[in-house]
Amino acid sequence: MRNASDPTSDSTSDPTSDSTSDPTSDPTVRTDAGSRGRAVLLAKGIGLLVLAAAVLSFPSLAPDAFILSVGVVIMSYAVLATSWNFVGGFTGYISLGHAAYSGLGAYATALLVIHTSLNPWVAMLLGGLLVAALAVPIGIASLRVRGASFVIVSIAMVLILLLVFQSWGEVTGGSNGLRVPRPFDESVLRPEQHERFFYLHVALLAVALLTWWAIDRSRFGTGLKAIREDEDKAQSLGVPTFNYKLVAFIVSAFFTALGGGMYALWFGFLDPIFQFSILVGSYMVLMSLLGGIRSLFGPLLGAVIVGYAVEFFKNQYGDTQFHLVAMGLLLGIVVLFMPDGIIPALSSLINRFSPQAASIREVSAGELAEQRRAAASEGKDLDATEAEPTDSLPEGAKR
């Protein structure tokens, strides 16, 4: 369903898909695609269930509290990377400074919990809204021109916030850090805390994924993807590019801030160096790119791989300078050799071996008439599957 909702990108690389994917010109294709589409849908549904079951059963399978805490960190990365992908994936604008919004969300939540008697979860939501409000002027400043200034502002935001939060000691705790009260009382033990926060992060991730999916299928999402492919053409076709970019940016900042706030409540301690770190921002980029920024689950997959690698590395070799080199090399390799990510690479691999992957279909006139009759008789069903051909066909027709 997903990759295919990306016909803009497909058609640029593949001129033939235009003629073959037109569902009205070729009814055989319709039924073909209809049954195949249903199978794909089923496979996707099963895949989703398996994924959900695997994620939800992780806490009960984890052998000790440490592994469980690694799981929480990975889920936190997954939330951040998915939130980043609202801007990076849809519009193609790469932000290296999303740590600014996660850090602000974390501090907003912490300060609200400390200074007001708000419920921690309300504070987290409020923190997210505050950061989203702050993202409006930042977005207006950085999105008025094309990419380069956006990147520069995104890095500048992290640097400026690091400066401010380190110097403004009386409010933020400065370099000494800030202790965040826990949302659960003392009777809840450490492993229990990790388990609860694991599920909470998963819930937040699910909401973010659902929002991404909904935008992906909407007219708004199509406009955003048009900006990604060619901003000039999108503008000339009447897409309100600036407003669209701004909204995507605000949504992204909101979810990133929620991710940061939840991390603050879990970890219980904030230090500006780690909150406003370019490195954290670049983790989000690397995870999304590695998994595939055009895919719904790309950032999640990237977060699992990179997050696990980072934690493994830290555990084995400590906090040496080597992780910078490893991170740099990995990012460079991904950018140079697989900028589309793992998921698109895998799905094209699967398509190569799938039996439908031929551009010329051998159908006799008799079979054609038969299929047309069948198609006419279940016309209603066809309407339901109308969307499917665009889904599965461009990929089939690619070869």
Partner 1 sequence: MSLFFQSVVLGVLLGGLYALLAAGLTLYFGVMRVVMIAHSAFLILSAYLAWWFTTETGLDPLLSLVVTVPLFFVAGVLMQRLLISRLRPATLTMMSVLLTFSVALVIEGMLGFVFSGTQRRIRLPYSGDSLELFGANIAVVKLIAFGLAAVSLGALFLILKKTQFGQALRATIQHPDAARLIGINTDRIAGYGFGLGLATAAIGGTALALDSTIYPSLHWHWIGPLMAIIVVGGLGSIPGAAIAAMLLGLGQSLLQIPLGTTWAQTIFYLALFATLMVRPQGFFGGRLAQRF
Smallest gap from Cβ 278 to partner 1, in A, equals 7
Q: How far apart are CA 97 and CA 253, in angstroms?
A: 11
Distance of CA 113 to the CA centre of its chain: 28
Smallest gap from Cβ 119 to partner 1, in A, equals 34
Nearest alpha carbon to residue 281 among 96, 87, 157: 96
Q: Does residue 9 belong to the site contacting partner 1 (CB under 8 A)?
A: no
Q: How far apart are CA 335 and CA 190, in angstroms?
A: 39
Q: Which residues 287-306 are close enough to bind partner 1 by CB under 8 A?
A: 289
Q: Which residues of 85-112 are buried (b: 16+ CB within 10 A; e: fewer)?
A: bbbbbbbbbbbbbbbbbbbbbbbbbbbb
Both tokens of 251, joined, read 């949504």
Stretch that binds partner 1, among 16-24, 143-151, 206-214, 240-248 (CB under 8 A): 143-151
Smallest gap from Cβ 339 to partner 1, in A, equals 6
CA-based radius of gyration for the chain: 23
Q: Does residue 148 belong to the site contacting partner 1 (CB under 8 A)?
A: yes
Q: Does residue 314 belong to the site contacting partner 1 (CB under 8 A)?
A: no
Stretch that binds partner 1, among 54-62, 303-311, 333-341, 352-360 (CB under 8 A): 333-341
Smallest gap from Cβ 157 to partner 1, in A, equals 8
Q: Which residues 218-277 are close enough to bind partner 1 by CB under 8 A?
A: none
Binder of partner 1 out of 13, 60, 117, 145 (CB under 8 A): 145
Q: Does residue 214 belong to the site contacting partner 1 (CB under 8 A)?
A: no
Helix ranges (DSSP H) in the chain: 7-13, 17-20, 27-61, 65-91, 99-115, 120-143, 147-167, 169-172, 190-217, 219-229, 231-236, 241-267, 272-275, 278-291, 298-317, 322-337, 342-353, 365-377, 379-384, 388-398
Considering the complex, state which of residue 181 and residue 339 has its C-beta at the smaller distance from partner 1.
339
Smallest gap from Cβ 332 to partner 1, in A, equals 4
Q: Does residue 336 belong to the site contacting partner 1 (CB under 8 A)?
A: yes
Q: How far apart are CA 365 and CA 358, in angstroms?
A: 19
Give the residues across from 270 on adjacent strands.
Answer: 178
Q: Does residue 60 belong to the site contacting partner 1 (CB under 8 A)?
A: no
Nearest alpha carbon to residue 282 among 198, 163, 158: 158
Q: Does residue 96 belong to the site contacting partner 1 (CB under 8 A)?
A: yes
3-state DSSP assignment of residue 269: strand
Binder of partner 1 out of 8, 166, 347, 351 (CB under 8 A): 166
HSE at residue 363, side-chain half, CA atoms within 13 A, is 18
Q: Does residue 325 belong to the site contacting partner 1 (CB under 8 A)?
A: yes
Q: Does residue 142 belong to the site contacting partner 1 (CB under 8 A)?
A: yes
Smallest gap from Cβ 88 to partner 1, in A, equals 9
Smallest gap from Cβ 275 to partner 1, in A, equals 15
- Assess contact for 217 and 2: CB atoms under 8 A: no
Binder of partner 1 out of 27, 92, 177, 191 (CB under 8 A): 92
Chain positions contacting partner 1, by CB under 8 A: 92-94, 96, 140-142, 144-149, 151-153, 155-156, 159-160, 163-164, 166-167, 278-279, 282, 285, 289, 320-332, 335-336, 339
